[in-house]
Structure 1
Amino acid sequence: MNLKHLLVIIDPTREDQPALARAQWIAERSGARLELLACEFNPALDNTLLLEQSDLERGRQSLLDERLAWLEKLAAPLRQAGLEVKCQVRWGKPLHRQIVLHCEQSQPDLVLKSAHHHSLLRRLVLTNHDWQLIRHCPQPLWLVQHGQWRGERLCAALDPLHASDKPAALDHRLIGVAREFEQRLKLQAHYLHAYVALPHTLAFNAELLADYDNYVRRTETHHREAFDALLAQYPAIDRTRTRLGQGFAEEVIPAYVRDNGIDLLLMGAVARGQFDNALIGQTAERVLEEVECDLLVIRPVT
């Protein structure tokens, strides 16, 4: 994945801008240029029944000019630090649609957006706009936590058996991004595969019940062999930083993130048919609401 052009979504409703801080951190290590984007919409300036079209256009432009000037103030210290920064504003709604349209036009390598944060539980709280971007953003999407950024470790959550209908190439892309970030951003890369055997209470016939312990062992072997086969294609990966976790993904992944001080979790977006271009899936949705770190969502290359 290239790191030459970073699109940063600026939230006019908040004083802090975690996504901008994270983008600066990346740019300082990669030499990427930054593009700051703010989207505006006011329904009072979208009602042609009450005002002339020319008056509405002047009102919209005035609001956009004001927002652009604000973005330029945010960009000033970054430029003084030697970074290349461009500022853009758009009029329209909903937010996620405007972001997707802008991505299609500007073709950034990475999109960064601040996610909401629960001050007590330290969890990511994803809005509807976040979920829509996960489904439809054509570029990799980095959702930024509010918490302090250490920038030390990342974890790629892999699925070598593709139980969630992911194409096989997606795991390789996740590993490729993890390795590139390890080299260019100096983030120590970890790799995790979570699996679960059918619980004993859900065993559906007497034969399975009678041989349940052996079934559990076979399940572990099956997943371990698939995980090992995937990792074997990358001899440079430090196997001491790989983990096969037994249990539900929504429990295993957040626990691994917490116990190993993971700063960035990489997950793949799953193709789910004609109605949702990239739906993470119910299990992973629960994972995302529990993790205590930044999230990078990678989609398959189409």
Structure 2
Amino acid sequence: MINYDTVLAVIDSDLESQPALSRALELSEKTDATLIVLMVVYDFSYEMTTMLSGAEREAMRSAVIKERRGWLESEVRQYSDRPVELIVKWESRAFEAIIRTAVECSADIVVKASRKADDLVSVIFTPTDWHLLRKCPMPVLMVKEHAWPPQGNIIAAVNVGTEDAEHAQLNDKLTDIAKDYANLLTGAVHLVNAYPHAPVSIALEIPEFDTNAYHKAVKHHHQHEMELHRKKYGIDASHCHVEEGLPEHVVAKMSHQLDAELVIIGTVGRIGISAAFIGNTAEQVIDTLHCDVLAIKPDGFETPVT
């Protein structure tokens, strides 16, 4: 069961509407959580005004913050009359301000809007979004402007064929969270797992290599592991999808076929070369989706932001 005590919504004044605020209000109302609304502001021109003293620059920053807080108060009132804590911070690196605020407030989830691309269907993730997805220790919900209708489909992107303990633990966490959101939204959980193509290079280098046998073995392994996983969580077999291909292609295809409202994906917190490959895969999956995305870190993840 989802047990949020504090929900942090990040506001972007450049957007015509505030889907993050709307979604955060919905979550806070459904879970009876405290809602904190954060806006990060910065104007480099104020820092470059060398003719002003430090005190004068500080006064100018304070004036901007006050003006932005007034705007934020009026914006929030358009969405809800319930008590909401408002925070406005001056910070050049927005993602650091967001993460610090989330940690200071002991937020259970960070909700932020993604931006629409020119085709009005796909979304754009800004550098701040990517930093949050990689470094924020708590779940990050990237939302687009649409409602969460009842009986919507929720996808957990799992990797049931893994032998890695951290990935296996993350599979369990993603499935648990997907079931919690399904209960919260009266929706349905779907598990999606991608398995790889047989490497072409092996068939070329080893003529006796049986590509078809390899393909069948890999497919059977993932199907078997999915069967064990779905039974463990009581998920219907018709809601489990094991597909050949790259994760970013398979998850995007299934999210479109199922008209998913939410895709839940894990981002494994590692460093070095392994992080580059794992992080790149997660980002490619996220970048191809047209629905809300909930990014989950493994247990024990610590943010590099101090």
Same fold? TM cut 0.5: yes
Instruction: Name the counterpart of 2:14.
Output: 13
Instruction: Name the counterpart of 1:221.
Output: 220
- Cα pair distance change 1:118/1:35, threshold 3 Å: same
Q: Contact 2:3/2:31 (CA < 8 Å) preserved in 1?
A: no
- Cα pair distance change 1:136/1:74, threshold 3 Å: same
Residue pairs, 1:105-116, within 5 angstroms? 105-116=104-115
- Cα pair distance change 1:165/1:51, threshold 3 Å: farther
- Cα pair distance change 1:254/1:34, threshold 3 Å: same
Instruction: Name the counterpart of 1:59.
Output: 60
Structure 1 vs Structure 2 CA RMSD: 2.4
Q: Contact 1:157/1:266 (CA < 8 Å) preserved in 2?
A: yes
Per-residue Cα deviation, 1:231-251 (whole angstroms, up to 9, x for no partner): 23213x222211111222222
Instruction: Name the counterpart of 1:260.
Output: 258
Instruction: Name the counterpart of 2:5.
Output: 4
Cα distance in 1 for residues equivalent to 2:218 and 2:289: 26
- Structure 1 stretches of 4+ with a deviation exceeding 3 A read 146-151, 162-167, 199-202, 274-280
Instruction: Name the counterpart of 1:154.
Output: 154
Cα distance in 1 for residues equivalent to 2:278 and 2:15: 27
Cα distance in 1 for residues equivalent to 2:160 and 2:230: 9
The runs of 5 or more residues in structure 2 that have no matched partner are 301-306
Q: Contact 2:159/2:167 (CA < 8 Å) preserved in 1?
A: no
Give the share of equivalent positions with the same residue, in percent.
27
The count of residues paired between Structure 1 and Structure 2 equals 297
Per-residue Cα deviation, 1:204-248 (whole angstroms, up to 9, x for no partner): 31221xx2211111111111122222223213x222211111222
Q: Which moved more, 1:159-168 or 1:71-80?
A: 159-168
Instruction: Name the counterpart of 1:273.
Output: 271
Give the residue type in structure 2 aligned to 1:97: E
Give the residue type in structure 1 aligned to 2:85: K
Instruction: Name the counterpart of 1:143.
Output: 142
Give the residue type in structure 2 aligned to 1:179: K
1:197 aligns with 2:211: no
Deviation at 1:39, TM superposition (A): 0.5
Instruction: Name the counterpart of 2:96.
Output: 97
Instruction: Name the counterpart of 2:246.
Output: 248
Per-residue Cα deviation, 1:140-193 (whole angstroms, up to 9, x for no partner): 000112356546221000012337884321111101111111112323211111
Give secondary structure in 1 for the equivalent of 2:28.
Answer: helix
Give secondary structure in 2 for the equivalent of 1:216.
Answer: helix
Deviation at 1:101, TM superposition (A): 1.3
Cα distance in 2 for residues equivalent to 1:119 and 1:48: 36
Give secondary structure in 2 for the equivalent of 1:12.
Answer: coil
Deviation at 1:24, TM superposition (A): 2.1
Q: Contact 1:115/1:126 (CA < 8 Å) preserved in 2?
A: yes
Cα distance in 2 for residues equivalent to 1:279 and 1:104: 27
- Cα pair distance change 1:51/1:15, threshold 3 Å: same
Give secondary structure in 2 for the equivalent of 1:233.
Answer: helix
Cα distance in 2 for residues equivalent to 1:276 and 1:100: 24
- Cα pair distance change 1:164/1:263, threshold 3 Å: farther
Cα distance in 1 for residues equivalent to 2:145 and 2:160: 31
Cα distance in 1 for residues equivalent to 2:111 and 2:182: 19
The runs of 5 or more residues in structure 1 that have no matched partner are none
Give secondary structure in 1 for the equivalent of 2:233.
Answer: coil
- Cα pair distance change 1:163/1:291, threshold 3 Å: farther
Residue pairs, 1:169-184, within 5 angstroms? 169-184=169-184
Q: Contact 1:135/1:280 (CA < 8 Å) preserved in 2?
A: no
Deviation at 1:37, TM superposition (A): 0.3
Give secondary structure in 2 for the equivalent of 1:112.
Answer: strand
Q: 2:291 aligns with which of 280, 293, 298?
A: 293
Instruction: Name the counterpart of 2:86.
Output: 87
Q: Contact 2:266/2:282 (CA < 8 Å) preserved in 1?
A: no
Cα distance in 1 for residues equivalent to 2:144 and 2:195: 27
Cα distance in 1 for residues equivalent to 2:181 and 2:15: 29
Cα distance in 2 for residues equivalent to 1:163 and 1:121: 40
